[in-house]
Chains A and B, each alone.
Chain A
Amino acid sequence: EADIYQTPRYLVIGTGKKITLECSQTMGHDKMYWYQQDPGMELHLIHYSYGVNSTEKGDLSSESTVSRIRTEHFPLTLESARPSHTSQYLCASWGDYGYTFGSGTRLTVV
């Protein structure tokens, strides 16, 4: 079944650690996105990609980086995690009927 997958679902990590949040989709979509959402709050676009080797920063400044080496894979990396990075990170791809979101990664930096 075509879908979008995010791992891990939950992550608790210490300050200064490097982390990579995984996002993969099996729908063959070219356009993919990362949004950051604090609990109960609005979604902020932090990165997007319109295809392989294409990445752009979103409206919300983020210390994270992304890569798009394969169509189906759009990982997000934090080189040095800080408590201010604690949030939910949602990956999405654009299809015929709007966004399909992954289940998200809830990141806590202690």
Chain B
Amino acid sequence: GQQVMQIPQYQHVQEGEDFTTYCNSSTTLSNIQWYKQRPGGHPVFLIQLVKSGEVKKQKRLTFQFGEAKKNSSLHITATQTTDVGTYFCAVGSEKLVFGKGTKLTVNP
């Protein structure tokens, strides 16, 4: 089945620094989704990317889908303590396979 590699596994930043997490697949993806899970919480849907080279923004979050549709990234500009959590990418069609996640901690 489909698999996706997500890096890094952990990222610790100072508040105000930028953060990026990456997802890579060996096969072409039809789409990719991103979720955020706060500590002790459940995953919450952030966005879905479908088109080659697509870039979407949500306030300080920028999501990109690679031209070959084999990779994706989530970039947070000027992190805040509210950004703390684990960010997962997920692939598949209605039956998602999740990456291992990137756990972000922010030092105030």
Contacts and interface: CB of A to CB of B under 8 A. Distances in A.
Given A99-B35, A99-B45, A103-B42, A42 B95 contact: no
A42 B99 contact: yes
B33 A98 contact: yes
Contact of A90 (B43, B45, B48, B90): B43
Interface string B47-81: 01000000000000000000000000000000000
Interface string A85-110: 00000100010011111111000000
Given A41-B101, A98-B35, 20 more contacts: A31-B94, A40-B86, A40-B103, A42-B99, A43-B43, A43-B88, A43-B98, A48-B95, A58-B95, A90-B42, A94-B94, A97-B48, A98-B33, A98-B45, A98-B96, A99-B33, A99-B90, A103-B41, A103-B42, A104-B42
9 contacts: A31-B94, A41-B101, A43-B43, A43-B98, A45-B96, A97-B48, A98-B33, A99-B35, A101-B44
Interface of B: 1, 33, 35, 41-45, 48, 86, 88, 90, 94-101, 103
